[in-house]
Amino acid sequence: MNENNELILNLDKLHTTVLGGERIRKNLRLDTDDVVNWCREKIKEPNSDISKNGKNWYINVDDCVITVNAYSYTIITAHKLKNK
């Protein structure tokens, strides 16, 4: 649990590349220009499930998964969960 607080405490460092933003917007079919803020708000939601595996954070929230590099706080990608 303490490890998850590290991501929450560093949300101000969250960023992505131009291509990363386009990929996330396409994968999630978002209608926003501020993908980073959208991801930040999703990560802060009380129902978000944050886990760290290796060099990445994985945030499961609202039927999507957001992947964030644990060292640079770069949002790598996000995608919708497939139906089970």
- Per-residue pLDDT tens for 21-71? 999 999 999 999 899 999 999 999 999 999 999 999 999 999 999 999 999
pLDDT tops 50 at residue 78: yes
Task: Grade residue 1 by pLDDT with cuts at 50, 70 and 90.
Answer: very low
* pTM given for the model: 0.90
Report the domain count for the chain. 1
Sign (positive/negative) of CA torsion 45, 60, 2, 36? negative
Residue 1: exposure state from Cβ atoms within 10 A (0-12, 13-18, ≥19): exposed
- The domain containing residue 62 runs over which residues? 2-80
